[in-house]
């Protein structure tokens, strides 16, 4: 399997007055095609900064980020935007749905920005909504959906551009335990279909589903050796 994500000696430092905050400090990480990986750690450990780096939302201070073999660490903002549009799908804790749009229309949003035709966009969006179990809610607005259903819309939208990498930010954080389990099972199903996922979370149940779990502490990242598993 080829490497989808490879971080080499990656650091992100912020200047706060006279203090340098080392949000990420010499991080190494490899995620192969088809793997499901968890990144865990307490608040302030660097998880959010890591997510921003993996999602090409920020530039590292030092080090390298190779995405599908290409070095994206030094790209200009416009090029990073193209990478996000074509290679990365985001699943947010707070769903980030557009309230005036239906389920199908929300799923179509990334396709609009990519210039996909209206007919193809609609067909693909409906198939994705059905894939995540929303075949009876296609034309409902977000306000008419439960939290779990909104997250399903977010997951369908994240797959619209057929990304190389899915990044999930606390995907069960706003859900009750039963709904959270349903969403985890859905993510597991996507993984079994071949998706490459990195889930940033504090939920140990996520780690149990993943092949590898990385632990963050004070900007450092280490692989929790006893969590390496066979494909789930």
Q: What's the number of domains the chain is made of? A: 1
Query: How much is the mean pLDDT over the chain?
Result: 92
Q: How confident is the model at residue 231 (pLDDT cuts 50, 70, 90)?
A: very low
Residue 232 belongs to some domain of the structure: no
Instruction: Identify the helix (H) or strand (E) that includes residue 77.
Output: helix 77-87
pTM of the model: 0.91
pLDDT of residue 202: 85
Whether the predicted pLDDT of 229 surpasses 50: no
Domain that holds residue 179: 3-227
pLDDT for position 144: 98
Burial of 1 (0-12, 13-18, 19+ CB in 10 A): exposed
Output the domain CATH number for residue 187.
Answer: 3.40.50.300
What is the pLDDT averaged over residues 17-33? 93
Distance (Å, rounded) from C-alpha 175 to C-alpha 150? 10
Evaluate whether residue 145 is within a structural domain.
Answer: yes
Average pLDDT over residues 67-80: 95
Q: Minimum mean pLDDT among 124-138, 150-164, 217-231: which range? A: 217-231
Rounded CA gap, 167 and 199, in Å?
A: 6
> In the numeric block, which tokens belong to residue 211?
């092949």
Q: pLDDT band for position 117 (50/70/90)? A: very high
Q: Per-residue pLDDT averaged across 91-104, rounded? A: 96
């Amino acid at each position: 399997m080829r490497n989808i994500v490879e971080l080499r000696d990656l650091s992100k430092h912020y200047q706060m007055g006279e203090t340098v905050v080392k949000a990420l400090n010499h991080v190494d990480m490899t995620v192969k095609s088809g793997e499901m990986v968890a990144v865990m750690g307490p608040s302030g450990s660097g998880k959010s900064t890591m997510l921003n780096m993996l999602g090409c939302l920020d530039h590292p201070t030092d080090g390298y980020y190779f995405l599908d073999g290409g070095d994206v660490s030094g790209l200009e903002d416009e090029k990073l935007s193209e990478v996000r549009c074509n290679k990365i799908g985001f699943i947010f804790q707070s769903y980030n749905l557009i309230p005036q749009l239906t389920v199908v229309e929300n799923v179509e949003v990334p396709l609009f920005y990519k210039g996909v035709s209206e007919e193809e966009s609609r067909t693909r969006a409906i198939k994705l909504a059905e894939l995540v179990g929303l075949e009876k809610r296609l034309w409902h607005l977000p306000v008419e959906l439960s939290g779990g259903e909104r997250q399903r819309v977010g997951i369908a939208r994240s797959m619209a551009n057929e990304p190389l990498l899915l990044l999930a930010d606390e995907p069960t954080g706003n859900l009750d335990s039963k709904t959270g389990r349903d969403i985890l099972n859905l993510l597991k199903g996507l993984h079994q279909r071949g998706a490459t996922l990195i889930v940033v979370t504090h939920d140990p149940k996520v780690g149990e589903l993943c092949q590898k779990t990385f632990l963050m502490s004070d900007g450092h990242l280490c692989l929790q050796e006893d969590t390496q598993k066979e494909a789930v």
